[in-house]
Structures are given as C-alpha cells and as structure tokens.
Amino acid sequence: MKRFKPFALCVTLLVASTSFAAQPAQPSAQALLAASDAIRNPAQSFGLTNTLIEYRDGKQTDTSTLAIYARADSKTGQFRNLIRFVSPQRDAGKLLLKNGNDLWFFDPASKASVRISPQQRLLGQAANGDVVTVNLSLDYTASLGGEETIDDGERQQRSSYRLDLKANNTEVTYHRIAYWIDRANSRPIKAKFYSASDRLLKTAYYRHFKLQLGIERPTETVIIDGLDPKWVTVMRNSDLAYRDVPESWLQRDYLPRFNPEQATAQAQ
C-alpha cells in the first residue's frame, strides 16, 4: 500500500490543479464599468432631448426640457457638452457648457457666463452633473463589490455585479457611487450616489431600454431622494441621433453667439 501513496498524491494534486484552473477569471471592474458606459453613451458625437419631470408625493410639480449636444474629447475620451434650455419659457435659451472639469452657465438676458458646481440642483433631484454626458470609467476607479440579485427599475429581478466607484478627483459630481450592472450584458441597473461625508444623496434606476443607434440603451432614469423617497425626478431621453457638434460650440467665448435655430436646422 505504501508504494501507491505517491501516485495517489499526484492524482490529488492534479485534480486540485485542474479545479483551480477551471475557475473563471474574476472580471475587471474597470472593464465592466467601461462596457456599461458604452451602453449609456454612443461612441461618437450625438444629440438628444432630455425631459426632466419632478414629482412630490406622486404629483407632478415641475418639468423642464433640454437639448443636449455631446462630443468626446480626442485627448481624454471624456465628453464635452453643450446643453440648451428649451422649456419652460422662463429658461428658454439659457445654456450649460461642460468643458473638462469646468461647468459654465450662460444667461442670454445678462450675456454673462458664470462657473457653477456640478452638484448644484437643476430640477428636483437632478443636479447639473446628472444631465451632462459622462463616461464614469474615466472619472472613477472601480472595484468589484460582489455579485447580487436585485430588483431593477421595472421590478424585475436581475443578477448583477455591484461596482464600488471612487472619484479620481474632487471636481466630479459625486464622491463615490455604488453601481449595479447586469451580469448578462453590462446594462446599468441601479446606482447610489454619496457625498464626501458619505451621506446617501440619491438612488437612480435605469430603465425602459430601447434600440437606439444599434444598441439597446436606457431611455429613462428615475432618481429618488436619499432622505425623502416621495421626492422623485424622472429623466427621459428621446431623439438620440448622431450629429456633428462643432468645436466652436464647446468654447465659453462662443456662448453669446450660439444660435439655437441654426443648431436645430443642422440636426434635421
């Protein structure tokens, strides 16, 4: 019996080695985040309409419509945005410009542009930084927090990866984000956004996926206040299309000369 022990030991080691080798590689959290970014955002310049609707206790209290023009920076890969207020009438013609980490607000009545914070509220639970196009994988470092089964924005259970996102700099909208993406296809499902003091600011659900520009993308984001769950803002995207976004539109000095009628004509 003794002479068979070395053979048995070899077999045991071989089985253990084979079992270890068969284990699937742990997915890269940063790669998963980048894949989710590609679902939320087209890879080239585009435009869309963003409608914000605020609800309190189930009743609509306010609404705003924005025209968004986005173009990726050739050096950083991050999007630069020009946002035009379409309605309500009191805000029509106002502009937001995101260029790098700078966010500028332009009011045609005063002809002045002032730098503002991305954390500042735009409408309801939607902050300025929520309506601009952002590739999260460029602003946050992701780590894999685990695998969880959660309810999505349409109350369907989804097997997901939870990613823990930590901001790379203090200029981004949120200090950290807990971000759930679908294990099957990297679609964004849910996010929780936290302040620098680690206070939950809001929870977002990404839903109503539709085929747009070759990929099924979320067309609606439901944002719920971190303290008052009855305070909800819905962001609805429509009219997503590739379009030319001239470099001149993305310069602060150009804001007083921006022509919304020309921009609308170019999109048609």
User: Sorting pLDDT into bands at 50, 70 and 90, what band is 1?
Assistant: very low
Distance, CA of 221 to CA of 47 (rounded, Å): 17
Q: Where are the domains of the chain?
A: 29-267
pLDDT at 185 over 50: yes
Distance, CA of 44 to CA of 16 (rounded, Å): 48
Q: Where are the beta strands (DSSP E) in the chain?
A: 46-56, 59-72, 79-87, 95-99, 102-107, 112-115, 121-123, 126-127, 140-151, 157-167, 176-182, 188-194, 200-212, 215-225, 231-242
Instruction: List residues bridging with 236 in a β-sheet.
Output: 51, 220
pLDDT at 161 over 70: yes
Q: Which of 21-25, 45-49, 170-174 has the highest mean pLDDT?
A: 45-49
Query: In a 3-state reduction of DSSP, which class is residue 236?
Result: strand
Q: Report pLDDT for 248.
A: 93
User: Sorting pLDDT into bands at 50, 70 and 90, what band is 20?
Assistant: very low
pLDDT at 254 over 60: yes
DSSP 28: P
Q: Report pLDDT for 11.
A: 39
Question: Read out DSSP for 115-171?
Answer: E--TTSEEETTEEHHHHS---HHHHEEEEEEEEEEEE-TTS-EEEEEEEEEEESSTT
Report the candidate in 158, 162, 148 with the shortest Cα–Cα distance to residue 29: 162
**Number of C-beta neighbours around residue 112 at 10 A:** 11
pLDDT at 226 over 60: yes
Range in 1-5, 145-149, 162-166, 220-224 the model is least confident about? 1-5
Q: What percent of the chain has pLDDT over 90?
A: 78
**Averaged pLDDT for residues 50-68:** 97
pLDDT at 253 over 50: yes
Distance, CA of 268 to CA of 260 (rounded, Å): 13
Q: Report pLDDT for 21.
A: 47
Whole-prediction pTM: 0.87
User: Sorting pLDDT into bands at 50, 70 and 90, what band is 10?
Assistant: very low
pLDDT at 257 over 70: yes
pLDDT at 164 over 50: yes
Query: Rounded mean pLDDT of the chain?
Result: 89
**Number of C-beta neighbours around residue 177 at 10 A:** 22
CA 86 vs. chain centroid, Å, equals 22
**Averaged pLDDT for residues 234-245:** 96
73-118 pLDDT, tens digit each = 988 899 999 999 999 999 999 999 999 889 999 999 999 999 999 9
CATH code for the domain defined by 29-267: 2.50.20.10
User: Sorting pLDDT into bands at 50, 70 and 90, what band is 124?
Assistant: confident
**Averaged pLDDT for residues 217-245:** 96
